Each structure stands twice: as C-alpha cells, then as structure tokens.
C-alpha cells in the first residue's frame, strides 16, 4: 500500500475557497474537506490517480468526481455544496393550475386530466388536495341558507306569564 505523502510538500490556497459562498459544513467523519480535495487534485498531478486515491483513503470514483469538478470550476468547485436540487421537475405553474381547476369544475376525473395536461395522476391528486377540491361537494357552489323571515318578528311570540312562548300560528291540539 502506498504511504501518504507529506502534506508540507504541497500548498493549496484553500483558505479563500469559502469566501462569499454559502458553505455547507461537512460531517465529522468526512474523508476530504475542501482543502483536502484541493491537495488531492495536486497529488493526482504529481503522483498519479491511483496513488493519490490510496493516499487520500477514498474511492477511485470519489477522486474522479472531485477531479472533474476541479477541472470544470477550479478551486471553487471543491467547496461543499447543498445536495438540494436547483429546481423541481413537476412543479405546477399558475397557468396550468387554472387549467386544471377548470377541468375539475367540468367534472372530469383526475386520471383523465392527468393525461390531458401531461402530468402524473399522483402529482395532480396532491395538487387537487392542496386546493381543497378533492371531494365533489367542494366543486359545487355553496347553497344559500334558507331562513324564515317574518315582517314583524316580535309579533309571533308573547311574553305573558300564562302563555310563555305561544306562537301566532293556528292552534293545534
């Protein structure tokens, strides 16, 4: 096995790598930090790919990944970055949302709407649930509340002690 090269033989300007960049901190067991990646890329140039890989105690795949990032972006490509995607593929924009809602209100099933708009049924089901339109009753307009209105509301009931609450309608026995 190849012994680890002396770290003093190479210098890396890794102190300025994280300036001005939102840095994601490495976990405590990380084999390579941004400075270690910079040194590893210098080792590859000096002693070769296989030797630098074993010296850094990482896989060949990892070494190639960081070497490709270094070639593409320089020392800035060696900085930790978030693994969160830059954009999501199945997001529904406002125009598509209006179209989906219109199709829902015309009583089309979600699976058929999914075929029409080119999205999966699961994506549309989640979206429809977020709108609160999952139930067919939610698609109908609200029914008006039927209230009985009397011209003189106080005339129907009396407040005498003998007949408390007597109504003004026909008497039933």
Residues 98, 68: one domain? no
Whether 16 is covered by a domain: the verdict is yes
Whether 67 is covered by a domain: the verdict is yes
pTM score, whole prediction: 0.41
Q: Which domain covers residue 115, as residue numbers?
A: 94-136
Q: Pull the structure tokens for residue 165.
A: 């609450």
Residues 59, 12: one domain? yes
Provide mean pLDDT across the span 163-167.
Answer: 55
> Among 5, 14, 81, 74, which Cα is nearest to 43's?
5
Residue recorded with tokens 């067991």: 29
Provide mean pLDDT across the span 73-93.
Answer: 79
pLDDT at 112 > cutoff 90: yes
Q: What is the mean pLDDT of the chain?
A: 75
Whether 157 is covered by a domain: the verdict is no
pLDDT at 11 > cutoff 70: no
Residues 124, 73: one domain? no
Whether 141 is covered by a domain: the verdict is no
Summarize pLDDT for 114-163 with one digit per residue, the tens: 999 998 899 888 888 888 887 777 777 778 888 777 777 666 665 566 65
* Top-confidence residue, 5 or 98: 98
Residues 70, 130: one domain? no
Whether 69 is covered by a domain: the verdict is yes
31, 46, 78 - which closes a domain: 78
Provide mean pLDDT across the span 69-88.
Answer: 82
pLDDT at 91 > cutoff 50: yes
pLDDT given for residue 15 in this prediction: 46
Residues 65, 15: one domain? yes
pLDDT at 22 > cutoff 50: no
Number of domains in the chain: 2
Whether 161 is covered by a domain: the verdict is no
Residues 100, 132: one domain? yes
Residue recorded with tokens 């003004």: 168
Contact between residue 110 and residue 119 where contact means Cβ atoms under 8 Å apart: no
């Amino acid at each position: 096995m190849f012994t680890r090269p002396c770290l003093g033989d190479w210098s890396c300007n890794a102190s300025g790598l994280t300036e001005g960049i939102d840095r994601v901190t490495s976990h405590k067991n990380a084999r390579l930090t941004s400075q270690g990646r910079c040194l590893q890329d210098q080792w590859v140039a000096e002693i070769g790919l296989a030797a630098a890989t074993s010296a850094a105690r990482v896989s060949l795949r990892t070494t190639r990944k960081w070497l490709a990032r270094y070639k593409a972006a320089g020392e800035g490509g060696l900085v930790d970055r978030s693994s969160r995607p830059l954009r999501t593929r199945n997001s529904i924009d406002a125009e598509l949302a209006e179209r989906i809602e219109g199709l829902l209100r015309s009583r089309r099933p979600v699976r058929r709407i999914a075929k029409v708009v080119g999205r999966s049924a699961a994506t549309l089901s989640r979206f429809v649930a977020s709108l609160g339109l999952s139930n067919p009753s939610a698609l109908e307009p609200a029914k008006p509340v039927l209230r009985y209105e009397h011209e003189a509301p106080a005339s129907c009931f009396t407040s005498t002690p003998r007949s408390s609450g007597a109504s003004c309608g026909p008497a039933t026995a």
